[in-house]
Structure 1
Amino acid sequence: MNFIFISPHFPESYWLFCQGLKNNGVNVLAIADAPYESLSTNLKNSINEYYKVDSMENYDEMLRAVAFYTFKYGKIDWIESNNEYWLRQDARLRMDFNIANGLTFSHMDDFQSKSRMKTFYQKAQLPTARYCIVSTLENALEFIQEVGYPIVIKPDIGVGSSDTRKIRNQEELETYFKHPRMVKMIMEEYINGESFSFDGITDSHKKVLFMTSHQYTDSIMDSVNEQKTIGCYSYMNIPEDILDAGLRTVKAFNTRSRFFHFEFFRLNEDKEGVGKKGDILGLEVNMRPPGGFLPDMINYANDSNVYQLWADMIVHDKIEHVQHRKYSSGFIGRRDNLEYAHSTQEIQHKYGDNILMIKRLPKALAEGMGDEVIVARFPSEEEIRQFFAYCSEINI
């Protein structure tokens, strides 16, 4: 099997996907824009060949790289990055080289357009926030007359929470529209709800081979925009309604042979036109692994290697793994602008071996995840919630 892995050096842990493939006898062919000498030893040992391009944004260069590998090794079986930013380009390369495995280019909007996703959530019989595509202040005001403030506005096709804004009143709305966006924007009513995810790996028949679920401590959007403490933890036992909603979503979308990351809301209050308190709403679908530290958290919670499990699915279309969630793992991102009641040293002293990682993040990542991230695991969800409360406490 010839597998081209795009950008295996970023995120840093993605060399583990290549290692998993190589462990299964796959010919792993990498393409990226980093000098070969800058690659980690682990990555170098996990690939068979490396092709450097000047820019992965240059499609002609990417095309030549795949053509080179095709000439040298023959038919390419897979092209994949597992990275939201490159999914559309991955699909275009598959189309141009007639590669059947993976997401097709013609259906990329089904997975990346936030407005298009809603039709598939409807197929899964899950409600979503009401929305409209906005281009002018006038049609934004018309929508707000229906749903009221606050509202959320973001790119219809975008990566993560980039350029996502919560707008509370007309003054903020008018300020927002003074700076026109060059991409299509979607406006949604604000949902007061808890955020959680349903994550997993499927085979070529949409059968879920591995699954987990994570509860966020606060709205991701609010945590980023308001620079609040952010965190999430994994369920040891996935609640039945989350499991039901997640499995219905798997069936509604083309989730064949994928690592997936689905995001949902649970309403904190009745919402006219949407649902009752406790109802689950579809938020967004991501046809790639969850971001940040979540893959490692999944491993910590399950004593597993999801990078290898994904590679097993790619090669064998099955996973020989009996899943048993022994722990609840989580991360908390603390921000330098907040004065916490407990120092990092106090946290280390109190929780000892429960802490698996403490890491300072570069500025580019800190905005979304916090300046300092602490990853930990506990034998119960109650203990990890207590851990979050202790780490988040602010001096008054």
Structure 2
Amino acid sequence: MILPMKLLLLTMEFPPQFGGVAEYYGRLVEHWPNREEAIVVLQPADALAKKRFFKWPFIHRALNRAIREKNIDLILVGQILPLGMSAYLYFLLNRLPYAVFLHGLDFSLARRNVWKRFLSKLILRSAAAIICTNNFTAQAVKDAGLGSESKVFVVHPAALLNWEASPGFSAADLPFSRPEKKVLLSIGRLVPRKGFDRVLSALPLVFKQAPDLLYILIGAGPDQFRLEKIRSRLPADCQEKIYFRGAVSTAEKNYWLKNSDIFIMPSREEKVLGIKDFEGFGIVYLEANLAGLPVIGVQSGGVGEAIKSGESGLLLPDDRPKTIARAILDLYHSPEKRALFGRQGRERARNDFNWPGQAVKLKLILEKIFAAHQTIGCK
């Protein structure tokens, strides 16, 4: 019999902070299946904010105090660096097991130079488990020789749409008239790897065969100026069908998810300051599926795990404008396919990517670690 575990999540990101990583941890804690095992969350914010260098001693002090006060059995590390080093040092001194979460870019950053590669190697090889949010990152860890099949696990993010969050938004609230037209929708942070520039480049080809289509882009970010410049170079009749909505309320986001016809985000791998940046998973594809939309993406990073090509949408082999245009027009001209992909995608998102299910999956992984540690401790 496995006794209730006392878990501590050591993380720099957690609600009410925004972002996919913060939501991932927040939802897992919220949906943890055993209330007797409520997860203690430790955010050493003061140490991280005030100390630019030599943060480990201050983080370690906060960790040590929390473990003693809460009688913790297992540490969950939210960020491999710098937090993983504190869990590693505590393990060396006290043999308390820990598991490390990896999302994608964090692993790339941890391999950025010789010193970080050395530290990440120490941390991951001593970890009881490595929990990745996608198979792409899990395979990268195994290829680097930092974790075996029995040690590396995948617990995907899940999708959740709160339709009741901000009711009342309607077309009357839009600053432009929206006649009865079909809508191509994109939602995401405006950075190059999201591929919105490729969508804009494909639209002149699309609009020739889909004159009643609008393109709505929701999101903000450093790439906005470049994207607006690309739009300004398109023919005038194309520009008037493209709307940049910026950062919007939950109510408006939900409005477009409910009232669009196709979702697209052709993410790609990009090198930023010499670091490979990629879409670790793409929870927004599942959100669009939950809203009943067929989705379009490109085979890159973990996108192939979020989109099941031919079932929930289309997974493209490349992000050339012609390839993207063909995919959009394929769905535009086939309402039956749109409806089928939307229906199948919704069922897949509900059944395979829900937070209670992912929390149970993580709990089973951690129970194995805890049981093994108890067995070793009894010898």
TM-score range, shorter chain: 0.3 to 0.5
Normalising to structure 2: TM-score of the pair? Answer: 0.35
- Give the number of the structure whose alpha-carbon radius of gyration is greater: 2
Higher strand residue share? 1
Which structure: greater helix fraction? 2
TM-score (norm. length: structure 1): 0.34
